[in-house]
Chains A and B, each alone.
Chain A
Amino acid sequence: MNFDWVTAHVGMPLLKILILLVPVFTVVAYMVWFERRVLGFFQSRLGPNRVGPLGLIQPIADGLKLLLKEDVVPANARPFLFKIAPVFSFFPAFVGFSVITWALPWVTASGKTHGFVVADVDLGLLVILALSSMGIFGILLGGWSSGSKYPLFGSLRSASQMLAYEVPLTLSVLSVFLLAGSFRMSDIVAAQQKLGGYFLFPGIVAFGVYLVAAVAETNRTPFDLPEGESEIIGFHTEYSGMRFAFYFVAEYANVVLTSVLAAALFLGGYDIPFVNDAALYAAHPALTSLLGVASFAVKGALFAFFFVWIRATWPRYRYDQLLRIGWFVLFPLALVNLLLMALLRLWLLR
């Protein structure tokens, strides 16, 4: 076996995964802190500010507390599925990060290019969609294997909610695909750079549909019926300790993933606003990549803030309202928009 092949296909991806996982885990952990702090500010409180400066060690304290709690498996539960279900939720949420391109590739002195992406697959968006559909299994299995009524109902609701919102989400992402002509993340960003503006403007309807569907997909307020965080009656009622933490972290990882995805699809990803990226990249490649990551992070943070903002503002929808919005409003809207985008693609953006 060729040594270069091993380096290129095993060594480098593993290294990249390690390099990616550390910031992703940190961001997901601090998303919890961010949400609690900002939610506190919205409610005239201060939020957690006791552990460390500004409460910055709070996520670690929370994690340790959950880690040290007793691992309870209910007597009625199906033990194997009960134990493995959180992993089904946890795993897809983190794998999704692997196909996102974080910046323009970095060229070494020897002429080798290293992309800021773990797996630059040409169906990147589809991979994320498929993985987000897999996340339902964790919720369904967890609710069903708990052997209790509330989790079962919670997971059933979750399944129908996810089905109802998966379709508009996919359709809105498809319209981005039509505009860009590719499922590869770097191509989508490149298409936005070529367009001179972001897909936010031609795809404003798709953007709206994506936002609403993403909030519903991540089970957050105002669509947090499966979880019911305020009543703790949802699919993870019977979970405690580390297994609950898995669901919890998966939810926040999904929030971060959808925020990053929205930034990439509609706000130009790592494109630096008001700057000619190609010219800057020709002059200072490393600087452009770093600034690109920073601008990507800022754009993602905007969406993360939006997620917290609407949680602090809007009350929860009733269940029938939720499904009606999904099937009777978002679905036709996304479908018509897809048609319009196709026409736009045919006549204007050839």
Chain B
Amino acid sequence: MKALARFAKMVTFWELVKGLGVTTKYLVKPKVTELYPDKRPVLPYRTKGRLHVDIETCISCRMCEKACPEGCIKVFPPPKEVFKTDKRPAEFLINQEHCLHCGLCVDPCPTGSIHHSQEFELVVFDYRELLFDKERLPCDLDQPRYRWNGLENARAEK
């Protein structure tokens, strides 16, 4: 019986046919290729994209500036008289060209106004376009704001 089965396998080239079956399975399986420009990828919640700053809630404490290992953040507090009432920075510069997307500036921020966004397409024709000032720093409130030490993240992630 065993010999007969072996003979049948030999005559039908069973190993080769089995291989064809395996590849056929892959023919109909869904493909793994990312269809990036046609279909936007669904990014993870913790994606560290371009830095966004909520200028309205910023208190010009310059913690992010001190935390940045690349020194690509510059915060200019307003004049003293103004600062007593309005703590919003006079100017906020982020050189996205040098940014490591390390997230060290996000953690110390007491108000949570600086945060990563889901924006990842940072290719430009002129490097000066990557220097973002107060006017060009957007704050998209719909974007998830992830902070590594924040309690609210634990809640948000659930």
Interface of A with B (CB < 8 Å)?
Answer: 38, 40-46, 309-310, 312-314
- Which of B24-32, B68-76, B94-102, B140-148 contacts the other chain? B24-32
A sample of 9 inter-chain contacts (CB < 8 A) reads A40-B31, A41-B27, A41-B31, A43-B26, A44-B32, A46-B35, A309-B24, A312-B23, A314-B16
Among A42, A46, A310, the residue within 8 A (CB) of B27 is A42
Residue contact A46 to B33, C-beta cutoff 8 Å: yes
Complex contacts, A314 vs chain B, CB 8 Å: 16, 19
Among A40, A46, A309, the residue within 8 A (CB) of B23 is A309
Residue contact B23 to A42, C-beta cutoff 8 Å: yes
Q: How far is the CB of B80 from chain A (nearest CB, A)?
A: 58
Among A38, A45, A309, A313, the residue within 8 A (CB) of B31 is A45
Among B20, B24, B33, the residue within 8 A (CB) of A45 is B33
Residue contact B31 to A42, C-beta cutoff 8 Å: no
Query: How many residues of chain B get a CB closer than 8 Å to chain A's CBs?
Result: 13
Cα A45 to Cα B22 with chains together (Å) = 16
Within 23-56 of B, Cβ neighbours of A (below 8 Å) are at 23-24, 26-27, 29, 31-33, 35
Residue contact B22 to A313, C-beta cutoff 8 Å: yes
Cα A70 to Cα B150 with chains together (Å) = 61
Residue contact A44 to B31, C-beta cutoff 8 Å: yes
Residue contact A46 to B20, C-beta cutoff 8 Å: no
Q: How far is the CB of A316 from chain B (nearest CB, A)?
A: 13
Complex contacts, A42 vs chain B, CB 8 Å: 23, 26-27
Closest to B28 in A: A41
Cα A69 to Cα B16 with chains together (Å) = 40
Q: How far is the CB of A221 from chain B (nearest CB, A)?
A: 12
Complex contacts, A310 vs chain B, CB 8 Å: 20
Q: How far is the CB of B21 from chain A (nearest CB, A)?
A: 9
Q: How far is the CB of B136 from chain A (nearest CB, A)?
A: 33
Residue contact A44 to B26, C-beta cutoff 8 Å: yes
Within 1-24 of B, Cβ neighbours of A (below 8 Å) are at 16, 19-20, 22-24
Among A38, A40, A44, the residue within 8 A (CB) of B29 is A44
Complex contacts, B27 vs chain A, CB 8 Å: 38, 41-42
| Known contacts A41-B27, A42-B23, A312-B23, then 9 further A-B pairs from the complex at CB < 8 Å, ordered by chain A residue | A42-B26, A44-B29, A44-B31, A46-B33, A309-B20, A313-B16, A313-B19, A313-B20, A313-B22
Cα A41 to Cα B19 with chains together (Å) = 16
Cα A44 to Cα B28 with chains together (Å) = 9
Complex contacts, A46 vs chain B, CB 8 Å: 31, 33, 35
Cα A313 to Cα B16 with chains together (Å) = 8
Complex contacts, A40 vs chain B, CB 8 Å: 31
Complex contacts, B16 vs chain A, CB 8 Å: 313-314
Complex contacts, B23 vs chain A, CB 8 Å: 42, 309, 312-313
Q: How far is the CB of A314 from chain B (nearest CB, A)?
A: 6
Q: How far is the CB of B130 from chain A (nearest CB, A)?
A: 28
Closest to B13 in A: A208
Complex contacts, A45 vs chain B, CB 8 Å: 31-33
Closest to B34 in A: A46
Complex contacts, B33 vs chain A, CB 8 Å: 44-46
Closest to A306 in B: B20
Closest to A311 in B: B23
Complex contacts, A43 vs chain B, CB 8 Å: 26
Cα A47 to Cα B33 with chains together (Å) = 9
Cα A41 to Cα B30 with chains together (Å) = 9
Complex contacts, A309 vs chain B, CB 8 Å: 20, 23-24
Closest to B16 in A: A314
Closest to B38 in A: A49
Complex contacts, A44 vs chain B, CB 8 Å: 26, 29, 31-33
Cα A40 to Cα B29 with chains together (Å) = 12
Q: How far is the CB of B66 from chain A (nearest CB, A)?
A: 46
